């Protein structure tokens, strides 16, 4: 009757009357088996919900990490662009061909 390797205690129901074992024991046992199967199903669904929640949490954590990385990358690109812009302005103002060539090299890498 039921799953022998379940991690929870066996379900026991005390009836408020003494059934006539010869007349009703099979019916009661069948009903108890159905109740136990339904409880097993509920427990399995709860375990799956817990696993799904864990997977969702991991996915959100991963997306947060990726988002943070993208933000850091974009901020770094903006800082690099500002630096190159400043270098270019300085090179133009100094009319130094070597400085212009260096800015060109920095922009290409």
What does the alpha-carbon distance between residue 98 and residue 104 come to, in Å, rounded to a whole number?
A: 10
Question: Confidence class of residue 8 from pLDDT cuts 50, 70 and 90?
Answer: low
- Please count the structural domains in the chain: 1
**Residue 75 lies in domain:** 26-108
Contact partners, residue 84, CB within 8 Å, separation at least 6 = 103, 106, 107
Report which of residues 34 and 109 the model is more confident about. 34
Of all residues in the chain, what percent carry a pLDDT higher than 90? Answer: 28
Is residue 103 situated within a structural domain?
yes
Is residue 93 situated within a structural domain?
yes
Report which of residues 84 and 11 the model is more confident about. 84
**Segment 70-96 mean pLDDT:** 91
Contact partners, residue 107, CB within 8 Å, separation at least 6 = 84
Is residue 40 situated within a structural domain?
yes
**Segment 57-86 mean pLDDT:** 90
Is residue 7 situated within a structural domain?
no
């Amino acid at each position: 009757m039921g799953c022998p390797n379940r991690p929870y205690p066996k379900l026991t129901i005390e009836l408020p009357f003494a059934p006539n074992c010869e007349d009703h024991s099979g019916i009661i046992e069948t009903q108890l088996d159905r109740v136990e199967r339904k409880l097993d199903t509920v427990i399995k669904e709860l375990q799956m919900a817990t696993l799904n929640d864990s997977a969702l949490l991991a996915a959100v954590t991963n997306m947060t990490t990726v988002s943070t990385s993208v933000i850091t990358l974009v901020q770094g690109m903006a800082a690099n662009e500002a630096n190159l812009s400043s270098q270019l302005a300085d090179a133009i103002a100094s009319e130094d061909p070597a400085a212009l060539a260096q800015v060109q090299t920095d922009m290409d890498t």
